[in-house]
């Protein structure tokens, strides 16, 4: 069987398992290399980036997002 067909079939039938396994391996290696808290910080930054990117994709104004996140006392 062709390897490309095998990979396409695995992706089609077991996408969640493959993504979960790959993420688990990446997180495990990150914890071993950087430590738990540095890995956690990287994951939080990634989630913030995902949130902002999703809002930008939905054509939300970036300043509206910033105004919702940053309290009024911090702005000049």
**What's the mean pLDDT in 35-39?**
96
- The domain locations on the chain are 1-34, 35-76
Please tell me the total number of residues recorded for the chain in this structure.
76
pLDDT at 72: 73
DSSP 59: T
**CB neighbours of 42 closer than 8 A, spacing ≥ 6?**
30, 34
Higher pLDDT, 76 or 4: 4
The CA-atom distances, in angstroms, between 11 and each of 2, 3, 15, 16, 17 are: 14, 12, 5, 9, 9
pTM of the model: 0.64
pLDDT tens by residue, 2-31: 899 988 998 889 888 998 999 999 999 999
């Amino acid at each position: 069987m062709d390897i490309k067909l095998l990979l396409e079939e695995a992706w089609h039938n077991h996408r969640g398992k493959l993504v979960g396994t790959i993420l688990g391996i990446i997180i495990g290696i990150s914890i071993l290399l950087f430590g738990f808290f540095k890995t956690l910080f990287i994951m939080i930054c990634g989630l913030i980036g995902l949130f902002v990117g999703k809002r930008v994709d939905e054509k939300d104004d970036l300043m509206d997002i910033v105004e919702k996140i940053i309290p009024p006392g911090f702005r000049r």
